[in-house]
Chain A
Amino acid sequence: MSVVTNTTTIGAIDAPSRRNTELVLLAFAVAIPVFAYLNVGLALNGEVPSGMLGYGLGLGLMAGVAHIVVRKFARYADPLLLPLATLLNGLGLVLIWRLDQSPRLNARADFAPQATNQLMYSALGIALFVGVLMILKDHRVLQRFTYISMAAALILLILPIVPGLGADVFGAKIWIRVGGFSIQPGEFAKIVIAVFFSGYLMVKRDALALASRRFMGLYLPRGRDLGPILTIWAMSLLILVFENDLGTSLLFFGMFVIMLYVATERTSWIVMGLLMSAGGAVVVASFAGHVQARVNAWIDPFVCKETSVACDQMTQVLMTFGSGGVLGTGLGQGNSDLIGFAANSDFIFATVGEELGLTGVMAFLLLYGLIIERGIRTALAARDPFGKLFAIGLSGAFALQVFVVAGGVMGLIPLTGMTMPFLAAGGSSVIANWALIGILIRISDTARRPAPAPAPSPDAEMTQVVRP
């Protein structure tokens, strides 16, 4: 007689998948933007907007598809990430549609309605999200592409300064034009470079952490281990100098320092990172005119309002926030279009400030905060170092981006030209961020999935054979 018993399983209950929680949250994440859409229509035209049904169905359909795919391919994934992203994306569409109807913006030569395009980009983003979940069955596969990723990221970052391909949009060279479409390669580079950092640091973390000398309480790495960090530092400075893009360079460097710290558990890296970014910032600020202008606009925009466009823009943004007050004017009833240039992209958060008020901005910040913390939670739960590093890299980059953009428009730090994830008009940003959410969901699924029952070991089998 041969009895096969599984003696390794302790809890017989299957871990909850939380997919139903996600579905309920998704229903809210679709309903809230639909109400917001209705609100805008009633405020602007006094009638139920004709596109409401189409908008609601579209958003609902996209959320539904995403949900089904998650249910099928990432059953144990974090239940909050998808609803949060859907809600932000939906509200972003409403805000863009609201600004599309501003006569003041439509009178501008540099303005074109964006809502339809943005809906299309959102659909593309969800498609990429679906693609990530369906194709990438295990995130650890990406480990194989560590050095390819590095090359890819460099190429993506260099593209905008390639003559003929790059487009200079009001000073910042972060765009490329391919057949009528503008693409911001930096948004995608963010993810690709996280792959490289994770793969590289996973391999080198011991060398970086242990082979160091102690000096004044800090562990100083060996000279040859400093190479990569110096390279990244130089690269982010080059982006700043050649592409006039303060935001992206800050983002990459910050992301690298965070991942380095997590990988090595050495505080000295943080100190070195801070010193290097401070040094870089001082050098660049004293040489690059556009950075100086931004800094002046940050210190007191009302003083230099007459002489500098950056300052004038900043005063408009601050007054837009201030005019919202605690409760806001209500969707469709503010004058955030006075900001003019980039009102629906870089400065879209100001529209939230004016029309939804302090309350609305706080709610949005909480939504972003939740995404960030769920991402870090995923990193904590991940079982493999690559997954941990990858998740913290993406979440950290997301957090830095939210901080840099929201802090910039609210005057907390100097303004940098970056987009608010999911809210701002712009295809690259929304598509790349959906991919980012897709990867986090994939890692969280792997992390939360109950450990597979170990294959019955032949040896174990043997020991249980009782010979009469």
Chain B
Amino acid sequence: MNKPLRRIAIFCGLLVLALMIRDNWIQYVRADELNTHKFNRRVQIERYAYERGNIIVDGKPITGSVETKGSDFKYKRTYTNGPMWAPVTGFASQAFDANQIEKLEDGILTGNDDRLFFDRTLAMFTGEKKKGGDVVTTLNGKAQAAAFKGLGDNKGAVAAIDPQTGKILALASTPSYNPSVFAGNSIKDSENRQKLLNDKDKPMVNRALRETYPPGSTFKVVTAAAALENGVVEDIDAPTDTPEPYMIPLSRTPMKNSHGGCEKASLNAAMEVSCNSVFANLGDKVSRDKMVEMAQKFGFNNAEIDTPVRASSSVYNKTMDRGGNALSSIGQFDTAATPLQMAMVTAAIANDGKLMKPYMIDQLRAPNLDVIQTFEPEEMSQPVSQENAQLLQRMMENVVEKGTGKNAQINDVTVGGKTGTAQHGVGNSKRPYAWFISYAKTDNGSPVAVAVVVEDSNGTARDDISGGGLAAPIARDVMKAVLDSKE
């Protein structure tokens, strides 16, 4: 009987060997995947096991951590002025994961990033409590407050950029939400979140980055840039050949103007009173492909604008016909832009044609305040020449001085801007969006470019909605706040 016994011995050895191989498979080969699996609650437990690092604005934290009892998670996230900062911070919830900066820089904030390995090891020897690192943002507290206050109870968003560096200075979205209300793990937190998700006003949508709107007349600066760059217009004060009424190409519909005096108006004059016909005509002359090219240089049709929070892609249709292109040239039809996108357009013009990549994280810091990484300004493209950029500035400054953008004027400061009133809904049935884009200029170049969109205006008669009336004062306040903080 010994021969089969020996074989059984080998068989049993193989069983144990199979177990060992399997164990290596799950505990070595697949260890990382399982360890960081989205269903693995350990990720959350680890995230809140130590005091989480903070997100910093103007040297002060806008987040915090409190110790909690009676749950898996030791610390809970708190937010200072949560609704105002939510579009920047995102949320970090024990029960519902995290998003935006809280998610993207989770490694630094929890202290688990590889770059913090040395700090962790050192802390192990010195007996210091483990703590997360900080994320220092580029935002400007005063500008953000001005934007949030200006939007008030309206639905809308504000994006402000430093044109010379691309640093994001303000990023507001209303109605907003307080990420503190579901930072925990209780039933109450769950209910609060559900309430926010069910809210028809969508408070959790980051409108400044993740919502696209038809940009309306503010898009005319892009059309003007394309006309200048492609030589369709050489002198901004020379009359164009625009007839009145101007018929939309391939159709029998005349392009309506809300203002008289658009017939054969010069580019500058058309900008001042926002003539639809002139810009539709110029856009048509530039041609669709050249318009697409210009829009893309400004950042349209780019799905990878990471601030590092990714902004939605703004759209300029690449395949539409001539009529569509003419309508798109005045920011209607399929054209759609995020507030950040329009702030980028404005910033590029204010920065003499050079578009800087927008970003909102300045530095990553270790718990001991050592800087781990500093983000440097980066040039994204040069959509227009310096010369043409200055021509565009002249026209935009004229709009604020004499035209539709008078509400954005600031004493002793040069301001350039453009209003927009974008129609939407079937047959333009819905209330239009009020837009305003602008920049301020000092002797050292432009410190701020801003885009404001106000979605819906409660109790305002339809005709009164215009970028100049609703959005321009907000833009002015944001620019003022930035200028004040520079002094």
Nearest Cβ in chain B — how far from A270, in angstroms? 9
Complex Cα–Cα for A407 and B16 (A): 9
Task: Mark each residue of chain A from 387 to 421: 1 if its CB lies under 8 Å from any CB of chain B, else 0.
Answer: 01100100110011011001100111000000000
Complex Cα–Cα for A385 and B5 (A): 12
B interface residues, how many (CB within 8 angstroms): 34
* Of B4, B8, B19, B31, the contact of A410 (CB 8 Å cutoff): B19
A372 within 8 A of partner (CB): yes
A106 within 8 A of partner (CB): no
Q: Is the CB of A403 within 8 A of B15?
A: yes
A41 within 8 A of partner (CB): no
What are the residues of chain B within 8 A of A368 when measuring CB–CB? 16
Q: Is the CB of B34 within 8 A of A376?
A: no
Complex Cα–Cα for A365 and B27 (A): 14
Complex Cα–Cα for A325 and B4 (A): 38
Nearest Cβ in chain A — how far from B98, in angstroms? 19
At the interface with chain A, which of B40-48, B136-144, B283-291, B325-333? B40-48
What are the residues of chain A within 8 A of B30 when measuring CB–CB? 322
Q: Is the CB of B5 within 8 A of A262?
A: yes
Q: Is the CB of A410 within 8 A of B23?
A: yes
Known: A380-B5, A403-B15, A412-B22. Is A361-B39 also a contact (CB below 8 A)? no
Q: Is the CB of A315 within 8 A of B39?
A: yes
For chain A, the bracket of interface size reads: 35 or more
Complex Cα–Cα for A251 and B34 (A): 31
Complex Cα–Cα for A273 and B1 (A): 19
What are the residues of chain B within 8 A of A353 when measuring CB–CB? 23, 26-27
What are the residues of chain B within 8 A of A323 when measuring CB–CB? 31, 34-35, 40, 42
Q: Is the CB of A365 within 8 A of B19?
A: yes
* Of A261, A305, A399, the contact of B15 (CB 8 Å cutoff): A399
Known: A319-B34, A319-B39, A322-B34. Is A407-B19 also a contact (CB below 8 A)? yes
What are the residues of chain B within 8 A of A335 when measuring CB–CB? 41-42, 45
Known: A319-B34, A325-B31. Is A261-B4 also a contact (CB below 8 A)? yes
Q: Which residue of B lies closest to A353 (CB)?
A: B27
What are the residues of chain B within 8 A of A407 when measuring CB–CB? 18-19, 22
Nearest Cβ in chain A — how far from B422, in angstroms? 42
Q: Is the CB of A261 within 8 A of B23?
A: no
A362 within 8 A of partner (CB): yes
Q: Is the CB of B1 within 8 A of A322?
A: no
Nearest Cβ in chain A — how far from B11, in angstroms? 8
Task: Mark each residue of chain A from 295 to 327: 1 if its CB lies under 8 Å from any CB of chain B, else 0.
Answer: 000000010010000000001001101111110
Known: A362-B20, A369-B13, A399-B15. Is A376-B27 also a contact (CB below 8 A)? no
What are the residues of chain B within 8 A of A237 when measuring CB–CB? none
Complex Cα–Cα for A153 and B39 (A): 44
Q: Which residue of A lies closest to B22 (CB)?
A: A412
* Of B27, B32, B33, B37, the contact of A361 (CB 8 Å cutoff): B27
Complex Cα–Cα for A407 and B2 (A): 28
B259 within 8 A of partner (CB): no
Q: Is the CB of B18 within 8 A of A412?
A: yes
Complex Cα–Cα for A395 and B39 (A): 39
Q: Is the CB of A338 within 8 A of B28?
A: no
Known: A369-B16, A396-B8. Is A325-B35 also a contact (CB below 8 A)? yes
B244 within 8 A of partner (CB): no
Complex Cα–Cα for A318 and B2 (A): 39
Task: Mark each residue of chain A from 361 to 385: 1 if its CB lies under 8 Å from any CB of chain B, else 0.
Answer: 1100110110011001101100001
Q: Which residues of B contact A (CB under 8 A)?
A: 1-6, 8-9, 12-13, 15-16, 18-20, 22-24, 26-28, 30-35, 37, 39-42, 45, 72
Q: Which residues of A contact B (CB under 8 A)?
A: 104, 258, 261-263, 265, 302, 305, 315, 318-319, 321-326, 335, 338, 353, 357-358, 361-362, 365-366, 368-369, 372-373, 376-377, 379-380, 385, 388-389, 392, 395-396, 399-400, 402-403, 406-407, 410-412
22 CB-based A-B contacts, threshold 8 Å = A262-B8, A321-B34, A322-B26, A322-B30, A322-B31, A324-B27, A325-B28, A335-B42, A335-B45, A353-B27, A365-B23, A366-B16, A373-B13, A376-B5, A380-B5, A380-B9, A400-B15, A403-B19, A407-B19, A407-B22, A410-B22, A410-B23
Contacts A322-B33, A322-B37 known; 16 new A-B pairs at CB < 8 A: A261-B8, A262-B1, A322-B31, A323-B34, A325-B27, A326-B27, A365-B20, A369-B13, A377-B9, A380-B9, A388-B5, A403-B18, A407-B18, A410-B23, A412-B19, A412-B22
